[in-house]
């Protein structure tokens, strides 16, 4: 079996993981996808609230096999895993902010050889194809001060369709400014939350100087977003070009009116697609720009249904849920 050629990338990754044993399965899938990147170097740091030896051992035992070298891969390719614990935060929702020092102190250090920084929550499956899409269109869009973005998707096994987690209702494709490239129209989406972001060095240098990099000042940028969401917004709203509400743009096939699969990131829990109480993941991927307003079929649940679901949720709850 011939050796696999690595892509010339050296990536530092921060994965936020609020420890819950039931969510270890998602963490494993996220790490497995990252470890399949054919790159020169991949260093993953798990940011967690866990500090008990047995909990940290669970994380290491689950993750360690993924970081073992494959004989067929180049000897120049390296992978590493480390864990940083933040167990005494005043608010568990502050955990997503605990990775920021990795950007300013490690990724941007004078000795750093990293080409990219990735921040991702513990249930977002980010493929190498996703990463290649970003790096390709990042170069093509940079002169316009735009950044290629992603959409979270879920699979609903009740009807065997894929749904857009953050797209609440349909939107008018023709009503928004666009940049045309490679047969795609790059446009702002109404709900640009990704639960992750990617930076190259140029973007990182800009990011650390912006209000979005600071927990308190980020409130000025997006006051309606909660503290955990603001931790993941990157440069989305920092100084967008004229005619655009955000720096983040997504590609749309103008003939089929659908975003391509390589711009989707999979939300592993699939916890919104069948949740009648939430409007998220109710718009199908092929209906985002539909002219039929009723294709997004979510309607508020009755008070009785809402109360019963709330009671079930209280019984199941065993800690804060950081993933949105």
pLDDT at 73: 65
Does pLDDT of 212 surpass 50?
A: yes
Rounded distance between C-alpha atoms, residue 253 and residue 285, angstroms: 12
Domains of the chain: 7-316 (3.90.550)
Residue 275 has a pLDDT of 87
Structure tokens that stand for 102 in this block? 């990795």
Question: pLDDT by residue (tens digit) across 246-270?
Answer: 999 999 999 999 999 999 999 999 9
Report the pLDDT value the prediction gives residue 319, as an integer from 0 to 100.
Answer: 39
**Strand order through the sheet with 124-125:** 124-125, 264-267, 151-156, 161-164, 283-284
Cα torsion 48, 8, 127, 181: sign:
positive
pLDDT value at 186 more than 60: yes
The pLDDT assigned to 85 comes to 97
Would you state the pLDDT for residue 76? 61
pLDDT for position 2: 40
Mean of pLDDT over the chain: 89
Is the pLDDT confidence value at 315 over 50? no
Query: Cα separation of 220 and 21, whole Å?
Result: 35
Would the pLDDT of 149 be above 90? yes
pTM value is 0.89
**pLDDT of 152 over the 80 cut:** yes
The residue that leads in pLDDT, 159 or 319, is 159
pLDDT in tens, 86-121: 999 999 999 999 999 999 999 999 999 999 999 999
Per-residue pLDDT at 276: 82
**What HEC string does 289-311 produce?**
CCCCHHHCCCCCCCHHHHHHHHH
Q: What is the pLDDT of residues 33-52, one digit of tens each?
A: 999 999 999 999 999 999 99
């Amino acid at each position: 079996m011939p050796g696999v050629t690595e892509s010339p990338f050296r990536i530092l990754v921060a994965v936020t993981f609020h420890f819950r044993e039931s969510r270890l399965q998602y963490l494993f899938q996220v790490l497995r996808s990252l470890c399949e990147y054919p790159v020169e170097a991949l260093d993953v740091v798990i940011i967690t609230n866990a500090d008990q030896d047995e909990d940290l051992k669970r994380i290491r035992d689950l993750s360690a096999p993924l970081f073992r070298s494959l004989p067929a891969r180049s000897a120049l390719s390296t992978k590493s895993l480390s864990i940083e614990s933040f167990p005494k935060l005043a608010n568990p929702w502050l955990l997503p902010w605990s990775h920021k020092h990795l950007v300013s102190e490690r990724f941007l250090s004078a000795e750093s050889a990293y080409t990219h920084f990735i921040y991702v929550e513990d249930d977002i499956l980010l493929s190498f194809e996703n990463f290649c899409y970003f790096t390709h269109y990042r170069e093509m869009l940079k002169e316009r001060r735009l950044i290629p973005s992603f959409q979270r998707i879920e699979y609903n096994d009740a009807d065997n369709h894929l749904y857009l987690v953050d797209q609440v209702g349909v939107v008018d494709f023709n009503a928004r400014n666009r940049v045309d490239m490679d047969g795609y129209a790059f446009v702002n989406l109404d709900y640009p939350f990704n639960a992750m972001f990617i930076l190259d060095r140029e973007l990182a240098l800009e990011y650390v100087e912006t209000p979005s990099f600071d927990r308190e000042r980020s409130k000025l940028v997006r006051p309606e977003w909660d503290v955990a969401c603001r931790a993941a917004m990157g440069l989305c709203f920092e100084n967008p070009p004229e005619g655009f509400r955000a720096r983040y743009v997504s590609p749309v096939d103008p003939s089929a009116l659908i975003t391509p699969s390589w711009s989707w990131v999979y939300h592993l829990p699939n916890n919104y697609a069948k949740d009648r109480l939430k409007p998220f993941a109710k718009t199908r991927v092929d209906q985002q720009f539909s002219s039929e307003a009723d294709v997004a079929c979510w309607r508020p649940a009755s008070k009785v249904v809402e109360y019963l679901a709330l009671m079930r949720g209280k019984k199941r709850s065993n800690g804060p849920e950081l993933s949105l």
